[in-house]
Chains A and B, each alone.
Chain A
Amino acid sequence: MHSPSPAAINRRDFLASVGVGGAGLVLALSLPARGGAAGVRKAAGELNAWLRIGADNSITVLVDRSEMGQGVYTALPMLLAEELEVGIAAIRIISAPVGDAYVNQGNGGQITGTSNSVADAWLKLRTAGAQARLMLTSAAAQVWGIVPDQCHAENGSIQSAHGKSLSYGELAAAAAKLPVPQNVKLKERADFKLIGQSLPRLDTPSKVDGSAEFGIDVKLPGMLHAALAQCATLGGSAQSFDASTAQAMPGVRKVLSCASGIMVIADHYWQAIKARDELKISWDHGANAKLDNAGIRAALHKSLLAGKSLSARKDGDPVQALKGAHKNVSAVYELPMLAHAPMEPMNCTADVRGDRCDLYVGTQAQQLAQSAAAAALGLAPEKVRVFTTLIGGAFGRRLDTDFIPAAALASQAVGRPVKLLWTREDDMMHDFYRPPALIGLSGAFDAQMKLTAWDFHTTSPSITARFDPTSKDPFDSVLEAAANYFYVVPNVAVRYTRQEVGVDFGYLRSVSNAINCFAVECFMDELAAAADVKPYDFRHGLLASKPRHRRVLEEAGRRAGLGEAAPGHFKGLALMEAYGTVLAEVAEISIDAGAVKVHKITCVVDCGQMVNPKIIESQVEGGIVFGLSSTLWGDITISKGQVQQTNFNTYRVLRANEMPIIEVHLLSSDEPPGGIGEPSVALVAPAVCNAICAATGRRLRALPIGTQQLTRT
C-alpha cells in the first residue's frame, strides 16, 4: 500500500464513512471534544468563533475553510459582513485553528472539500454576523441607557435614534461579554447589500506582488530544510541505507529514516536535495513490484464480468426490464488514473518543542493534519496547533496528510523548525491518484423506443475504504454521481463492484462526478442515437418533471447555438447535477489531421443563490480548464509498480496557447447555494467526446483522448 506511515492515522479513531446519499466526500470525524478554538481563552473583542473586533475598529474574520483558489477568503467573510453591517474591504482574514466550532457539517469534520464551503456557511456565518451585530447594539444601548430597539447598526457603528454614534471598536469589549442572542432573524434576500455582488477578492493584492504566504513560503527563526527520498515503487520502503557521503556534504545537519523514506535535513533546501541524490538506499519494493497498467485493467475487467455487485440504487425492476426489452444497448467505458498535480508541491513546516508541535501547512483537513503529526510524535492531538497557510492548489490532494508526519519527526530530531518540501517528481510519483474505473452500461427501449431501463455498473477501487476499511458502503466516492441519475426512467439500477489493485487512491476534484458523468452522458448520446433522436431532444424528453434541469438544458441549447455550427465544426452536449448545482456544457470542436481541436465550451449553470458571481464564474472557467487537461491527456500509468509520469513533460496539462473560448452563463436562481468549485470539471469529457462522435461517427469510450486517431468511421 502507498506509504501508510505508522504515524499516519489511526483510522478507527477518527474516520467513518457515510454512504451514498450524502456528499461525495463525507468523512465523519470523532475526535476528542474540545471547546471553542482549541481551548484558547476568549480574547477581548472576540464576539464569536469567527469574529474579532479590535478597539482600533479592526475587524478580523477567522475563516474555517482553506483558501486554495476557490475564493472562501472572500465569500465567507461576505456572509458574515452582510449581517454585521460592514464592508469587506478592510476585513483582515486569518485561518481558523482546529476547533469544534469549525467543523463543516456537510463533511463531518473541519474539512474543505465537496464544494460545500458556502452551503455550510450560508446560515452559520450570517447568523454569527447577526448575533454579533445584536450584541454590539445591546452594548451601545446600555451605554446610552436606552432600549436596543432605539438603535441600529450601520457601516461599522451603532447609531441611536437621537443621533448618537459609537463605533464597533468602542463597543466590542463590552459586547463580547453579553449573552449570545438566539433565534436571530436574518435578512431577506431583497435586503442583501453584499451577497450577490461581484466584490473584489480580498486575497488578490497579495497574489500580485509575491507577498502571499503559501506553505512553501513559511519562514521561522532557525528553520532548516528537508528533502525526502521515497521508494519509486508505490508502497515500497527503505531496507537499509548508507548516508556517509550525504552526511559529509555542505550544510547537512542530519539524515533520518522515517516511515515514508529517508530524509536529509540541511541549512538550505538545495543542499538537502544535493545530499539526497548521494544517499545509497537499498529498497524493498514490496507487493507492487510487478504491478502495471495491464494488470490493473485485467483485474477490473474480470471484476466487471464476474457480475457480483452491491446495489447503490434500484428503481422498479431493472433486470426484468432489460430482459423483456424491445431493444437493448450496452457499452463499456474506461477511465484512467489521474494525478492532482497542484502547482505547489506538497510541503509542511513543523516546529516541535518539548511536548508541543506547531504545524504550518496547506491542508484541506485541519483535524487530520493535527492527528497525523500527533500520532507521529506520540502526542495528544491538542498538543498540536495547526496554522493553515494559503494553498497553491489542492484539488483534493491536501485532504491527505502523508507529507506531515515526516516534517514533524524531522523537527523533533533536530530540535528546530523544519520545512519539508517534495520535488515535483516526488509529488507526481507519490500522489493519491484518482482511481481507475471500468463502467458497464445498459439501456432498454420498449416498442415505442421509449427508454424503460438504465443499468450502470462500475468496478473500481474504493477511496472511502482506505479511510475506513470497515465501511459498509465503500462506494460513495466512485458512484455517487451515477446514483443521482436524474433522467426519469422507470427502471434504474446503479451497482458497484469493489476491486482493489494494490494502490491507495484519493479524492480528485469533482470526484465521482468526473468518473461517472463521462460514461453517463456519453451513453445518453448512444441511447439517443439508438432511438434516432437528437441528443438534446432525447434528454429533454426524459426531464418533463424536472423543471430545473430542463431550464439549464434549454438555456445551454440556446446560448451555445446547438443545432447550428460553422462548416467543419461540431457540437456535443452534457448535463449534470452535482453538489446541489445543475449545469450543462456544450463543446464545439473540429477535427484536424485526426486530432481534436476544441474551439469553445459554453457552460450554463444554476448553482442556486450566489454569493460572489465573479468568483463563481472563475471557478467554472477553471474547472473547465482542469477537465479539458484530463480529457485530452490525463493518464497516470504504472510499470513495475512505479508511476511513469514524473513532471509536466510527461503529465501534460493545458497551457495558455491551447485554450478554447470559454463562455459561462450563470442563471438567476432561488435554490439554496450549491457547490461550484468542482462540478464544471466533469462535463468537459462527455461534451467533447459527444462532439467528436458527431464529427466522426466514432464513439470514444476511454479517456484520455490523447493520441487516439479521430478519423471518420
Chain B
Amino acid sequence: MIKLNVNSTVLEIDADPETPLLWVLRDHLGMTGTKFGCGKAMCGACTVHLDGVPVRSCLVPLNAVEGKAVTTIEGLSADRSHVLQKAWIELDVPQCGYCQSGQLMSAAALLNANPDPSDADIDAAMAGNICRCGTYSRIRAAVHRAAELLKASGAHA
C-alpha cells in the first residue's frame, strides 16, 4: 500500500510502485480528467501539480509521489470557479477539449508563480502542451484574462 495525497485527500493505493501516476489516477482512482497523450512527457496532456510544480504524470512513478501533494484538474476548483476556468469558459477556449486539462494545469502553475505573465512568459510556460485543434491563441488570451480576473479579485491563484 502506498499513501497518496490527491487534491487534499489522503488515499491508500494498492498498485505496483512503478505504475505511472497517470494510470494510478485514471485506472485506480477513476479520476479521468488527466489525459494520456504520448506517454513520454512530450505533449503535456497528463500535466498535474506535485507540491505545486507542474509535472507530466505519465513518467512519474507512484513511489516517487509518496508524501507529496498531487493536484489534478479535478482539484483545481470544486465548481469551475478558478480564474482560469472562468476565463476558459468566457473565451470558449476548448475545441475537442482533450488537451485542456493539461493546458489548465500548466497555466495554473504559471499564474501561481507569475500572476501577471507576458506573452513570452505564457509561450514559454505553455510550450510543453500540444493542442492539435490549435487553440493556442485563445489559451494565451484566456491566461491574460485570468490574470485580469485575479488582479480584480485581489486574490492569489
Which of B23, B32, B88, B127 has the largest number of chain A CB atoms within 10 A?
B32
Looking across the interface, which residue of chain A has its beta carbon closest to that of B28?
Answer: A268
B85 within 8 A of A: yes
Contact A395 B39 (CB under 8 A): no
The answer, among A205, A212, A654, for a CB contact under 8 Å with B80, is A205
Please name all residues of chain A whose beta carbon is closer than 8 Å to the beta carbon of B12 when the two chains form the complex: none
Chain B 113-144 interface mask (CB, 8 Å, partner A; 1/0): 00000000011101111111111111110000
Chain A 211-243 interface mask (CB, 8 Å, partner B; 1/0): 111101101000001000000000000000000
Please name all residues of chain B whose beta carbon is closer than 8 Å to the beta carbon of A622 when the two chains form the complex: 95, 133-135
Contact A208 B30 (CB under 8 A): no
A90 within 8 A of B: no
Contact A393 B96 (CB under 8 A): yes
A250 within 8 A of B: yes
Given A214-B98, A270-B23, A656-B127, verify A209-B85 contact (CB < 8 Å).
yes
CA distance A216 to B127 in the complex (A): 24
Given A343-B43, A345-B36, verify A208-B96 contact (CB < 8 Å).
no
A131 within 8 A of B: no
Please name all residues of chain B whose beta carbon is closer than 8 Å to the beta carbon of A210 when the two chains form the complex: 31-34, 72-74, 101
Binds B, one of A98-106, A134-142, A551-559, A645-653: A645-653
Interchain nearest-CB distance for B157 vs A (Å): 15
Q: Chain A's interface: helix, strand, loop or mixed, by majority?
A: loop
Please name all residues of chain B whose beta carbon is closer than 8 Å to the beta carbon of A662 when the two chains form the complex: 137
Contact A648 B130 (CB under 8 A): yes
CB proximity to B under 8 Å, residues A356-398 = 390-395
* Size range of the chain B interface in the assembly: 35 or more
Binds B, one of A623-631, A635-643, A696-704: A623-631
B92 within 8 A of A: yes
CA distance A423 to B136 in the complex (A): 25
Given A393-B132, A618-B92, verify A649-B42 contact (CB < 8 Å).
yes
CA distance A250 to B18 in the complex (A): 13
Please name all residues of chain B whose beta carbon is closer than 8 Å to the beta carbon of A649 when the two chains form the complex: 40, 42
Contact A647 B33 (CB under 8 A): no
> How many cross-chain pairs have Cβ atoms below 8 Å apart between A and B?
187
Contact A342 B132 (CB under 8 A): yes
Q: Chain B's interface: helix, strand, loop or mixed, by majority?
A: loop
Interchain nearest-CB distance for B115 vs A (Å): 19
Interchain nearest-CB distance for B120 vs A (Å): 8
CA distance A38 to B36 in the complex (A): 33
CB proximity to B under 8 Å, residues A130-186 = none
Given A270-B27, A657-B127, verify A207-B35 contact (CB < 8 Å).
no
Given A343-B43, A656-B126, verify A393-B38 contact (CB < 8 Å).
no
Please name all residues of chain A whose beta carbon is closer than 8 Å to the beta carbon of B70 when the two chains form the complex: none
A614 within 8 A of B: yes
Please name all residues of chain A whose beta carbon is closer than 8 Å to the beta carbon of B92 when the two chains form the complex: 200-201, 204, 614-615, 618
Contact A623 B134 (CB under 8 A): yes
A120 within 8 A of B: no
Number of A residues contacting the other chain (C-beta, 8 Å)? 64
B54 within 8 A of A: no
Contact A656 B94 (CB under 8 A): no
Chain B 53-81 interface mask (CB, 8 Å, partner A; 1/0): 00000000000000000001110110010
Interchain nearest-CB distance for A362 vs B (Å): 9
Interchain nearest-CB distance for B75 vs A (Å): 9
B45 within 8 A of A: yes
The answer, among A70, A209, A344, for a CB contact under 8 Å with B74, is A209
Contact B20 A392 (CB under 8 A): no
CA distance A332 to B20 in the complex (A): 49
Contact B35 A656 (CB under 8 A): no
CA distance A212 to B137 in the complex (A): 22
Contact B42 A648 (CB under 8 A): yes
A463 within 8 A of B: no
Please name all residues of chain A whose beta carbon is closer than 8 Å to the beta carbon of B89 when the two chains form the complex: 200, 204-205, 208
A269 within 8 A of B: yes
CA distance A503 to B97 in the complex (A): 31
CA distance A662 to B139 in the complex (A): 13
CA distance A225 to B30 in the complex (A): 13
Contact B15 A268 (CB under 8 A): yes
Looking across the interface, which residue of chain A has its beta carbon closest to that of B85?
Answer: A208
Given A618-B92, A662-B137, verify A343-B131 contact (CB < 8 Å).
yes
Which of A274, A614, A622, A625 has the largest number of chain B CB atoms within 10 A?
A622
B51 within 8 A of A: no
Contact A269 B27 (CB under 8 A): yes
Contact A654 B123 (CB under 8 A): no
CA distance A342 to B103 in the complex (A): 16
Please name all residues of chain A whose beta carbon is closer than 8 Å to the beta carbon of B97 when the two chains form the complex: 69, 203-204, 206-207, 212, 390, 392
Which of A69, A213, A271, A649 has the largest number of chain B CB atoms within 10 A?
A69
Given A216-B36, A344-B98, A649-B42, verify A657-B132 contact (CB < 8 Å).
no
CA distance A311 to B128 in the complex (A): 47
CB proximity to A under 8 Å, residues B1-57 = 15-16, 19-20, 23, 26-28, 30-40, 42-43, 45
| Contacts A/B (CB < 8 Å), 5 sampled | A200-B89, A204-B94, A269-B27, A649-B40, A655-B129
8 cross-chain pairs, A with B, having the tightest CB-CB distances, nearest first: A210-B33, A625-B134, A392-B98, A207-B97, A69-B96, A69-B95, A622-B134, A210-B73
